[in-house]
Amino acid sequence: MKRKNIAVITGASSGIGREFARQIGEKYTKLDELWLLGRSEERLWELQAQLSLPAQVFPMDLEAEESRSRFAGILAKENPCIRMLVNSAGFGKLGDFASTACTEALGMIGLNCGALTYMTYSCLPYMPPKSRILEIGSAAAFTPQPGFAVYAATKAYVLSFSRALGRELKEREIGVTCVCPGPVDTAFFQRAGENGRMAGLKRLSMAKPEDVVKKALADAARRRDVSVYGFPMKGAQLLSKAVPHSFLLSAMGKLL
């Protein structure tokens, strides 16, 4: 029996993940199916109806161990050929660490780091040469961020993990790209909350999800290890390399 060529997209029920599903469906027409994972079953079915490729819907919360184990079982049963994995599930919460609920802080770590790692680990055995992994990080990974401490730390993990994994998988010809956008015009900040002038500055540099995803797919096709959209975020990346973090932390502290 011929194995299905698929793309797996987590966080597909909203935001960047939803846009990845749309663009992958339009661009990679030789795929047999898209596998859409997300918390909102209704939104996943709505997305499925809009796509040009067939899609399977998997409503699940990847923070939960039961959901992760269930998906690993589905992979073992279906034995697909995963041509692309997009780990887009994640969330952030603005605010001082001490005022953030412990459950929310641990939830960010569990989803942004734990679920991403688990999904990458689970999907790798099904990925042939020339496959691609896109791990969704953030420009917040470039430097520690007061008022966004846990989220920025989780994305620093994603960036470090992605770059090291890409080196490890080079001989297997599997490309790994960490996508590091700045603020994107999605529902992200509705969940993250507000944080004074810093949140206002983020809104000024807001990017469209379709532009971020288009560049990410192009960078992944070129086997680039990091994808950064827009001059403001590229500038932030360069600044984080050239300027001591102690100075940047002091400057950000004045904006909070």
36: containing domain: 5-255
pLDDT of residue 196: 47
The predicted model scores a pTM of 0.88
Question: What pLDDT, in 10s, does the model give residues 92-139?
Answer: 988 999 999 999 999 999 999 999 999 999 999 999 999 999 999 999
C-alpha 227/C-alpha 232 separation (Å) is 13
> Is the confidence at residue 236, as pLDDT, over 80?
no
74, 118 in Cβ contact below 8 A? Answer: no
C-alpha 37/C-alpha 5 separation (Å) is 17
Helices 116-123 & 65-78, crossing angle to 10 degrees? Answer: 10
C-alpha 11/C-alpha 88 separation (Å) is 5
- Our count of domains for the chain comes to 1
**CB neighbours of residue 42 within 10 Å:** 9
C-alpha 65/C-alpha 79 separation (Å) is 21
Question: What pLDDT, in 10s, does the model give residues 163-218?
Answer: 999 999 999 999 999 999 988 876 655 554 555 444 555 566 688 999 999 999 99
Q: What is the mean pLDDT of residues 37-56?
A: 96
Q: pLDDT higher for 156 or 246?
A: 156
> Is the confidence at residue 230, as pLDDT, over 50?
yes
Q: What CATH number has the domain bearing residue 105?
A: 3.40.50.720
- Sign of the CA dihedral with 170 first, then 128, 220, and 158 last: negative
